[in-house]
Amino acid sequence: MISRQKLDETARLAALSFEDDQLDRIGREMAAILSLVDEIPVLDEADDAMFQAVGTQRDDAVRPSYERDEILQNAADTQDGFFTCQNGKARL
Amino acid sequence: MMSIKSIHQGLIARDFSCAELVLRYQNAITRDNPRLRAFITVTDDEAVAAAARIDKRLAAGETIGMLAGVPMTLKDNISTRGIRTTCGSRMLADYIPIYDATVWQRLQTAGGILMGKSNMDEFAMGSTGETSWFGATKHPQDADRVPGGSSGGTACAVAAGLAVYGLGSDTGGSIRQPAAFCGVVGLKPTYGAVSRYGLVAHASSLDQIGPIAATAADVAMVYDVIADRDPCDATSDTATRVSAVSHLNDSLSGLRIGVVSTGSEWVEPIVLASLERAAQVYQSLGATLVPVELPLLKHAIPAYHVIAGAEVASNLARYDGIRYGYRSDQGDSRQERIVNTRTEGFGQVVKRRILFGTYVLQQAQYERYYKRAIAFRRQTTQMFADAFERCDVLLMPTTSTVAFRSPAAQYADQDDLFFADTFTASVNLAGLPAVSVPCGSDLAGLPVGMQLVGKRFAEPTILNAAHQFEQATASVFVRQGVSV
């Protein structure tokens, strides 16, 4: 069981908002999955080895990058060649 | 349904031009896509221009490669410069990448003809093909069934003859499961074999791009082109990739196939019977059958959800509506604007997984859940390594059932759907290659898939085993599609 206070705090950290009944339902689903996680038998606590076996690094060299206009083209709003945080409102 | 080889031969023999070929596929897409919703975006102009380039090369007497002029599709989480890449989400509904994914660069160089961007579960989260902002993809044979997911659009497009092959991405089964449901072949390569550069991230330590096609031989041809080291992907493995095509006719004599019996109690009788027949086929081809247990399998899904959820929470934190993507116009403060952007821009499944991942990453839960899942992942990797001491290839179900009934949301809170990815997600945890191959069908004709799992970088072995099975059972699973 995850407390309502904990769920609210988690939603705030995730920058998401939920209806009350929706959050209660998701909390129950999460608790059900986590009870199954508690049943996982663990033999050792060593770290994940997945990334140790792989890895390709680029040369440490300057390469051409993108034009400012290209970078900005997907933004909902821009001003003077910058992203804006709030369109139509005073900057914070 | 045309194979890559038959198209290649047809083009070089000038039986048809690339422009004619592309027009056939465009007509098929125009006819069937409104019903199937396999594509989110159809790239008619790009396809016509690319076909003209191939025809020009042919007219000039140039030699062309096997994939040159072959109509294909990309899952809509693979970045395409100048072509919108939506991830099946409202959040990226208008997002146009300014660079190409490495896999698309490689396929363009090989002469691939992009017919469109295929539909998918939102941000590749889901196993039904129904959670796309752009509408649910339908099963190509039965409108009351789902095509599977999350690469449901790619699998559907290939099965319906709207593309010869396509790329999907697989985090817990998202290539193999829709391939099994739609009756096509889908390969999840070894983690690190294929560059993820330009793949919009879901769970970075599990994600892998791979091909879906009608046959193992076609999948092998595409794999050979996309599998390589990439300095743009820090997790790209430095190992040398062996050509899968060059091993397609190796003898199976002496190959040890581990027949996995664990979990059979979760599997429908038709799937079990199909796998049993497949094992017999392999025996008749000279392979040795070895019984194998994978005792940790039943814990794979809870561990997968913790690891994938944690990575989802981290990866999707970038969607704040500022630099790209959907932005809400509601809210008085910057933080309110961000919360509203994310709450309106993401669908329910995505939000649920972000919340779950955010929860398990908090300090108080980290030791209890996240570290436990990571430790389990090591044990899973060891479990497969132990199994491969006794065999070369593992044979097990891809899915425990045929395609779910639509809408599958009715099962959302039930164990059936939750555990449905057990056989596929466990393979992602261990970073191994696996291919799903059609091996039968139920009385209604719905396809059944089997999964062949190999050691790291054993794609040539599992694709050859898949190819040999197709050859031995030829014409049993032939499907209808576009013909020229």
Task: Please report residues of A whose CB lies closer than 8 A to that of B369.
Answer: 34, 37
Residue A73, SS3? coil
Q: What number of CA atoms fall less than 13 Å from residue B405's CA on the CB side?
A: 4
Q: At what angle do helices B216-226 and B459-472 cross, to 10 degrees?
A: 160
Residue length, chain A?
Answer: 92
According to the model, what pLDDT value does residue B410 have? 60
Q: At what angle do helices B4-12 and B18-36 cross, to 10 degrees?
A: 150
Among B17, B75, B195, B406, the active-site one is B75
Single out the residue of B147, B218, B138 nearest to residue B185, CA to CA.
Answer: B218
Q: What is d(CA A53, CA B458) in angstroms, rounded to the nearest whole number?
A: 16
**How much of chain B, in percent, has pLDDT values that exceed 90?**
93
Q: Which of A40, A75, A89 sits opposite B323 (nearest CB)?
A: A75
B150 is catalytic: yes
Q: What is d(CA B112, CA B106) in angstroms, rounded to the nearest whole number?
A: 9
Which residues 23-52 on chain A approach chain B with CB closer than 8 angstroms? 26, 29-30, 33-34, 36-51
Q: What is d(CA A48, CA A55) in angstroms, rounded to the nearest whole number?
A: 15
Give the sign of the dihedral formed by CA B126, CA B127, CA B131, CA B132.
Answer: positive
Look at A17 and B299 and tell me if their CB atoms are within 8 Å.
no
Residue B477 has pLDDT above 70, yes or no: no
Mean pLDDT check: name the lowest of B259-273, B356-370, B449-463, B464-478.
Answer: B464-478
Q: What angle do CA B256, B260, B261 make, to 5 degrees?
A: 140
Q: Which of A42, A71, A83 sits opposite B322 (nearest CB)?
A: A83
* Interacting residues of B473 by C-beta distance below 8 A, sequence separation 6+: B281, B439
Three-state SS string across B184-248, please? CEEEECCCCCECCCCECCCCCCCCEEEEEECCHHHHHHHHHHHECCCCCCCCCCCCCCCCCHHHC
Beta strands in A1-92 (DSSP E): 78-79, 82-83
- Average pLDDT estimate for B213-233: 97
B261 is catalytic: no
Single out the residue of B207, B278, B225 nearest to residue B466, CA to CA.
Answer: B278
Single out the residue of B113, B29, B104 nearest to residue B69, CA to CA.
Answer: B113
What DSSP designation does A37 have? H
pLDDT digit string (tens) for B20-52? 999 999 999 999 999 999 999 999 999 999 999
pLDDT digit string (tens) for A5-62? 999 999 999 999 999 999 999 999 999 999 999 999 887 655 555 545 556 778 889 9
Single out the residue of B417, B418, B413 nearest to residue B405, CA to CA.
Answer: B417
Q: What is d(CA B167, CA B118) in angstroms, rounded to the nearest whole number?
A: 9
According to the model, what pLDDT value does residue B420 have? 85
B5 is catalytic: no
Chain B touched by A62 (CB under 8 Å): no
Q: What mean pLDDT is reported for chain B?
A: 95
Question: A88 vs chain B: nearest CA distance in angstroms?
Answer: 9
pLDDT digit string (tens) for A49-82? 554 555 677 888 998 899 999 999 999 999 999 9
